[in-house]
Amino acid sequence: MQFYAFMVRLLPKKTRQNFEQLITYSNMHVDPDDFLGFIISFGFIFSCIVAYVTYLFELISPILGFIGSFILVELFFYLLIAFSVDSKTRAVEEVLPDALQLMSSNIRAGLTTDKALLLAARPEFGPLAEELRRVGRETMTGRNFAYALMKTTKRIKSESLHRTIDLIVNSLKSGGKLADLLDQTANDLRDQEMVRKEISAGVLMYVLFIFIAIAFGAPLLFAMSSFLVKLLTKNMAIIAEGMPKGEMMSGAPISITETQINPEFIGMFAIISLVITSIFGSIIIGLILRGNEKDGIKYLPILLIIAVGLFLLGSYAMDTIFGGMMEM
C-alpha cells in the first residue's frame, strides 16, 4: 500500500482528484489512491513483460511494445470504471420515478420532507436507496436538508437526478407544493424514458445493418479477395515460368513477370481493417442506441470475434474447396 501511495504522489493533483470523483460515481467501493496506484503499477509491470517478449522474439520494437501495452492496460481499467459509472447511473434513473412517487405519497400522508425521503429508501432501489439513507442520516444529525440532498449529485452521475434535486431544493426554498411537483416529475421521467425507447426501436434497423455489414459482409468479402489474390499470384507465377526467356522474347509485344503481391500481407491487411472497422462500428452503434459512444464498446468483443473468426473460417473454406484451382 505504501508503494501504491508513492506511485500516486507522482501524478498531478488534478488527475488524482478526477480519478477519485470517477470512483465515487462508480459502484466500486475501493480506496481511490490505492486503486490508482495498483493500476499504474500493474500497467508498468505488464508493459515490461510485453517489452521483454517483443525483444526476445523480435516482433516489434520493445519501446513500442511497452508504450502500446501500457496504454491498453490503462484504457482497459478506465473503461471498466466507466462501465461501472454508467451501470450505476442507469440503475438510479430506472427507479427514480418510483422513488419520487413514493416520496410524494409519504408527504401526502403527513410526513415531513426528510422523513418522507428516508422512508422512500426501499432496498430494491439499489444505489439510490443508499443515497437516500445517507441524506436521512445527515439530516437527523443536524445537517441542512438541501445541502445533504445536493451532495447526492456529486456521488451519482445522472443529469435526470441532478435536475430533479434542483427542483426539490427550489421548491423547498419557495414553499411550493412539493408532493404535486414530485408526481409531475415522476410522470415526466417515465414519458422521457418511453420516448427514448421508441427512438431506440426506430433506429434498430440501422444498428442491424451496421452489425451485419461489419460482422458478416466485410469478412466474407475479404476472404474472397484474399483467395483471389492467392489464385492470381499463383497463376501469374506459373505463366511467367512457362514463358520463353532471353532473346526469344526480345520482339514479343508482351512481358509477363511474377507479381510482387504478398498473400500474407493481404491477410494481415484484412485483419487490421476488420479490427479498425469493428472499433468504429461499435462506437457508432453506441451513439445510435444510447447517445453515448462508451455504451458501444461492449459490442466490440462480439464484433471482433465474429468478424475475424468468420474471415479466418472463410479463408480456410475457400482454400480447401477451391484450392485445386491453384494447382492446375
* pLDDT greater than 80 at residue 242: no
Residue 188: CATH number of its domain: 1.20.81
Region label for 176, one of left (φ > 0), alpha (ψ between -120 and 50) or beta (otherwise): beta
Tell whether 150 and 191 lie within a shared domain.
yes
Model confidence at 213, pLDDT cuts 50, 70, 90, reads: very high
Q: Which pLDDT belongs to residue 274?
A: 92
Is residue 183 in a domain?
yes
Taking residues 302-328, report their average pLDDT. 81
Q: Which residues contact 91 (CB under 8 A, 6 or more apart)?
A: 126, 127, 128
Q: pLDDT tens digits for 66-94?
A: 999 999 999 999 989 988 998 899 899 88
Residues 178 and 223 in one domain: no
Same domain for 99 and 180?
Answer: yes
pLDDT of residue 328: 46
Whole-number pLDDT of residue 327: 56
Helices 178-202 & 204-212 angle (0-180, nearest 10): 40
In this structure, are 166 and 220 located in the same domain? no
Q: Which of 36, 71, 88 is at the close of a domain?
A: 88
Boundary of a domain, candidates 88, 107, 139: 88
Give the range with max mean pLDDT: 3-17, 244-258, 301-315. Answer: 301-315
Structure-model confidence comparison of residues 292 and 158, the more confident one: 158
Pair 36, 108 in one domain:
no
In a domain, 111, yes or no: yes
- Kindly tell me if the per-residue pLDDT of 325 is higher than 80: no
Q: Are residues 308 and 222 in the same domain?
A: yes
Task: Kindly state whether residues 68 and 121 are assigned to the same domain.
Answer: no
Confidence at residue 277, expressed as pLDDT on a 0 to 100 scale: 93
End-to-end Cα, the chain, rounded Å:
68
Q: What is the DSSP string of 8-51?
A: HHTS-HHHHHHHHHHHHHSS--S-HHHHHHHHHHHHHHHHHHHH
Domain for residue 248, yes or no? no
Instruction: Confirm whether 244 is domain-assigned.
Output: no
Q: How many domains does the chain divide into? A: 3
> What is the mean predicted confidence (pLDDT) over 162-170?
86
The listed range with the strongest mean pLDDT (27-31, 66-70, 176-180) is 66-70
DSSP-based three-state secondary structure for 58: coil
Which one has a higher pLDDT value, 165 or 257?
A: 165
Q: Of 4-8, 198-202, 256-260, where does mean pLDDT reach its minimum? A: 256-260
Boundary-marking domain end, from 54, 88, 122: 88
- In this prediction the pTM is 0.76
Q: Is residue 252 part of a domain?
A: no
Q: How many residues are present in the chain?
A: 328
More confident residue, 296 or 249: 296
| 115-126 residue pLDDT tens | 888 888 888 888
Per-residue pLDDT, averaged over 236-250, amounts to: 58
* Residue 257, pLDDT above cutoff 60: no
Query: Does one domain contain both 170 and 273?
Result: no
Q: Judge whether residue 262 has pLDDT over 80.
A: no
211 in the same domain as 186: no
Whether 50 is in a domain gets the answer: yes
Its domain, for residue 34, covers 2-88
Tell me, yes or no, whether 320 and 207 share the same domain. yes
Q: Are 234 and 326 in contact (CB under 8 A)?
A: yes
Whether residues 75 and 155 fall in one domain: no
Same domain, 83 and 101: no
Q: Is residue 55 part of a domain?
A: yes
| More confidently predicted of 214 and 142 | 214
> For residue 81, is it within any domain?
yes
